[in-house]
Structure 1
Amino acid sequence: MIIESILGMVVGLIMGLTGAGGGILAVPALVLVLGTDIKVAAPVTLVAVSLAGILGAIDGLRRGWVRYKAAALMSSMGAVTAPLGVMIARHLPSAWLMVMFACIMAFVSFRSYQKALPRSSTIVTENPIKPCMVSPETGRFVWSPRVAATIGAIGATSGLFTGMLGVGGGFIIVPALQKFSNVGIHSVVATSLMVIALISGATVGNALLSTQFQWPANMTAFVVFALVGMLVGRVASPRLSPRLLQLGFATVCALVAITVLVKTAAGI
């Protein structure tokens, strides 16, 4: 129970601080540390990520950070593609899914490290134009067909990986919103947490209702402490350097990716 509690706390804390990383770290942690099969770890992770995402989204709504129309569109598209991801996962060996995890985590680590590096002032433009722009007057997206298509595509991609890998999708939503929009980091994190909660909640229902799935008794502590970690992360986030958080997240993802590849190659 102690190990499960620690893992849950770490997962919730990372989600609260970054708006991503909960599922992408939780699944390999449950598989490698506790020896849980990935097909059991995925729905357990979805429960923890969904509930923690709800807590984070409520905090973001209270602070006015959630771009709720964008979150609703991404969630709708994700709910459509998530069942497809579940179907794909059922026909793939666990080893393939773990290798896919490792590759995704390596990519996320690389991108996070890039964002953490100091940028030259001669290269960065003050107000870069991006596909999805927020109005400085209203603080909301200036909606157009292009904006809707971009936001919808982010949600659809997130939902596909949510169903296939049992992750919340924040590792796609956060960097995608940062790349394709001028939304501030606090709004990005809060919006991501709302989408995670909605997409994960829709996906987990299908997994838990499956006659082949039984809830492991030792996973309750993992879920409870993930919620505690989320609350701590949301309180601590404004007090920590974004660059430090990016570097820490990048390092953790890189270490997990290497560990997953080594264990999978060894036949574990």
Structure 2
Amino acid sequence: MSVIFGVLVGLALGLTGGGGSIFAVPLLIYGLGEPAQAAIAVSLGAVAITAAFGAAESYWRGLIELRAGLIFAVAGVATAPVGVYLGDLVDEATITALFAGVMILVATRMFRSARRAGDDSKVVRARPAADAHDDPGTVCHYSRDGQLRLNAPCSAALVAVGVLVGVLSGFFGVGGGFLIVPALIMITEMGIHRAVATSLLVITLIGLSGLTSAVFSGRDIDWALTGLFILGGVLGMIGGRTLSRYIAGPSLQLAFSIAMLLTAGYMILKTFS
């Protein structure tokens, strides 16, 4: 079952522009019986390694805005341990309830995005689009020689959001793509393809930072389960490459958002029943 659930997470991560990895923690808690803190640690590792495969291809294709991504990621890497530390201070019921609330927010955003920006909802992580190189210029602005101009306000904004994403990722065990992608688009004016590609790099680095912190904080992690879950996640990402040609789009995003709402409702019922 660990591999199967990992495949589901890999598909969700690969077929959505942001937010798919949020299914990892509920599957680990209710499907595999992992305690919340352990599930968060496993999720961080699985999402990070799965995202790394997509990041490698995106980097090879030249789609990652490396300097902007690293500024964002370094801030997140520094604060992900803070999120892990805060998670150790909170009881399992509270974490679960808060996580359900985050799922509702992500589902609402995904639902609105699918309704208002149908073309953007066709952008997936599993396979960079052929026309991704046509995305408009980005981080704050390009200079005439094609280099990014990372001025102080732009860099400060990237750091600020990176700090927030790092804390949330460490606390909840999510990749943070639901925040990273819109933040990159808003702050840097980069196109959706490059934002999704760059977010994969950020997710990889922040996830590994959170996992490392969880290990050193003494969380009881089932490494065999983690390995199988990661294997499933990678297989799911690969499967998403094929499926993305046929099912990516507004309907898929709407389906994911409804699934998130149902999952969040189930978590709330289980927590308070």
**TM category, shorter:** 0.7 to 0.9
Instruction: Verify the 8 A CA contact 2:22 2:174 in the aligned structure 1.
Output: yes
Distance 1:238 1:76 in 2: 33
Give 2:37's aligned residue: 39
Instruction: Verify the 8 A CA contact 2:9 2:233 in the aligned structure 1.
Output: yes
- 2:96 corresponds, among 76, 92, 98, to 98
**CA displacement 1:119-141 (0-9 Å, x = unmatched):** 7xxxxxxxxxxx95454967765
Give 2:13's aligned residue: 15
Give 2:174's aligned residue: 167
Give 1:63's aligned residue: 61
- 1:247 corresponds, among 249, 254, 268, to 254
Give 2:46's aligned residue: 48
Give 2:130's aligned residue: none
Q: CA deviation at 1:242?
A: 3.4
Secondary structure class of the residue paired with 2:224: coil
Identify if the C-alpha distance between structure 1 residues 205 and 237 changes in structure 2 by more than 3 Å, giving closer, same or farther: same
Give 2:229's aligned residue: 222
Distance 1:145 1:136 in 2: 15
The answer to whether structure 1 residue 260 and structure 2 residue 267 are counterparts is yes
Give 1:150's aligned residue: 157
Matches within 5 A, 1:197-208: 197-208=204-215
Q: CA deviation at 1:212?
A: 4.3
Distance 1:234 1:67 in 2: 22
TM-score (norm 2): 0.84
Give 1:184's aligned residue: 191
In structure 2, give the amino acid aligned to 1:14.
Answer: A
CA RMSD of aligned residues (A): 2.4
Instruction: Verify the 8 A CA contact 2:143 2:149 in the aligned structure 1.
Output: no
In structure 1, give the amino acid aligned to 2:52.
Answer: I
Distance 1:17 1:81 in 2: 28
Distance 2:188 2:252 in 1: 21
Distance 1:50 1:77 in 2: 16
Distance 2:100 2:109 in 1: 14
Instruction: Verify the 8 A CA contact 1:19 1:193 in the aligned structure 2.
Output: no
**CA displacement 1:165-211 (0-9 Å, x = unmatched):** 12222222123223444322221211111101011112211222444
Distance 1:224 1:109 in 2: 26
**CA displacement 1:203-231 (0-9 Å, x = unmatched):** 21122244442425344322101011122
Equivalenced residue count is 254
Q: CA deviation at 1:40?
A: 1.0
In structure 1, give the amino acid aligned to 2:193.
Answer: H
TM-score (norm 1): 0.85
Q: CA deviation at 1:238?
A: 5.6
Instruction: Verify the 8 A CA contact 1:83 1:160 in the aligned structure 2.
Output: yes
**CA displacement 1:59-104 (0-9 Å, x = unmatched):** 1112221111111011110112111111111111111111111111
Give 1:73's aligned residue: 71
Structure 1 unaligned segments of length 5 or more: list them. 120-130
Distance 1:103 1:258 in 2: 9
More deviation, 257-266/210-219: 210-219
Instruction: Verify the 8 A CA contact 2:12 2:21 in the aligned structure 1.
Output: no
Distance 1:134 1:98 in 2: 40
Distance 2:97 2:186 in 1: 26
Instruction: Verify the 8 A CA contact 1:15 1:22 in the aligned structure 2.
Output: yes
